[in-house]
Structures are given as C-alpha cells and as structure tokens.
Amino acid sequence: GEDVEQSLFLSVREGDSSVINCTYTDSSSTYLYWYKQEPGAGLQLLTYIFSNMDMKQDQRLTVLLNKKDKHLSLRIADTQTGDSAIYFCAEKNSNYQLIWGAGTKLIIKP
C-alpha cells in the first residue's frame, strides 16, 4: 500500500541548514507537501511541490523532488530556534487523499 517515511529526529546548530528527508511509494502522487506542527498548535502548510517539478524555492525553504527515487527533501536555510517543530511530509494520491509520514522532530542546538 501507500507509505511515506521520514526519519524521526534531526538535530542541527542554530544558523546551519537543516535538511529533512522523506520517501514515498505512490508513483501516481500529484502533489507533495511539507507541514509544520508546533506544540499546542495546528498543522501549518509550509510549501508544496507539483509532481512534475524537481525544485521549488520559497525564501528560506527549498524543496527538492527526485521522482525517479520517490525522494522528497526540505531544506531550511539559516535555521533559527523558531524552526523547532515537527515537520511532516505528505503526498496526495489519485483519490485526493493525503498520506502522511510520521514526522521529523527538528531540534535546534544553540
């Protein structure tokens, strides 16, 4: 069945770049998304990429998509303490449903 996998934790130093990786299995995915969830807060859509693109940049965020390997990554430049959160990767399947990863907790070291 459809599956989205992410590593559970990532620790980076403040000011460095963070790269969060995700793999998915559904080759018919139309859109792929990155969400941010902070403690006590709802899910915030950070960015998305259409499946026929390979890169998208939005200020400090860069999304890379390798469709052949079904690999998606989110790069956060100049990581700040406010970036501490859980980051979810999700893919939209052909039934318009979102399939989510388990989330990567980003830990910022001073």
Partner 1 sequence: DAGVTQSPTHLIKTRGQHVTLRCSPISGHKSVSWYQQVLGQGPQFIFQYYEKEERGRGNFPDRFSARQFPNYSSELNVNALLLGDSALYLCASSLTGTGMNTEAFFGQGTRLTVV
Residues forming the site for partner 1 (CB under 8 A)? 4, 31, 33, 41-45, 48, 50, 88, 90, 92, 95-103
DSSP string, 57-98: EETTEEEEEETTTTEEEEEESS--GGG-EEEEEEEE-TTS-E
**Smallest distance, partner 1 to C-beta of residue 96, A:** 6
14 or 54: whose CB is closer to partner 1?
A: 54
Output 41 or 55, the one with its CB closest to partner 1: 41
CB of 42 to partner 1, least distance (A): 5
Nearest residue (CB) to partner 1, 35 versus 79: 35
14 DSSP β-pair partners: none
Can you name the residues that pair with 58 across neighbouring β-strands?
A: 61
Please report how close the Cβ of residue 13 comes to partner 1 at its closest, in angstroms.
Answer: 25
Helices H / strands E in the chain, number of each? 0, 11
